[in-house]
Amino acid sequence: MPNKGLLTKILALVGTLVVLFPILAPLAFSAGSYAGDRILRFDFLMPAELFPAAFIGAGLLFWAAMRAHSREKLIGWWFAAAAGLLIGAQQLAVVTGLDSGEGPPEGIWWITVIVMINAYSLALVITGIYGVLLLRELFRPSPVS
């Protein structure tokens, strides 16, 4: 039986916000920078740097999904994909020397690392979307029979 209690709703809400924080933070900072001095600055690596927040948020979101018996596989798999892509990108950067500056930031390895980091960000967005869908489901009034 699905649990749509207050704790489940709070877990889902906080988890969704914290999962989306690494995506929304660079957008907010870019908007602030552009509003201040009319120069667009966007740090596409910030979602990777804020992975600990995404990890905590995904844990809360997964816990809420488990309690609600809804979307737990989708949330779990998409976040696992995000974590795998980020770890893979970091390891590839270490192996190829891109992290230390030994390898030049060009060529197929550079492109692969950048694509993996962007795919990580996309997987985080999809995890957040499933969090929003879970919230819609949790806050939908139950049908009266």
pLDDT in tens, 85-101: 999 999 999 998 888 87
- Per domain, the residue ranges of the chain are 6-139
pLDDT in tens, 102-133: 877 888 999 999 999 999 999 999 999 999 99
Q: Phi and psi dihedrals of 140, rounded to 5?
A: -70, 135
Q: How far apart are CA 103 and CA 96, in angstroms?
A: 6
CB atoms within 10 A of CB 34: 13
> Which run of H or of E encompasses 17?
helix 6-37
Q: Confirm if 50 and 25 have CB atoms less than 8 A apart.
A: yes
Q: The pTM is what?
A: 0.87
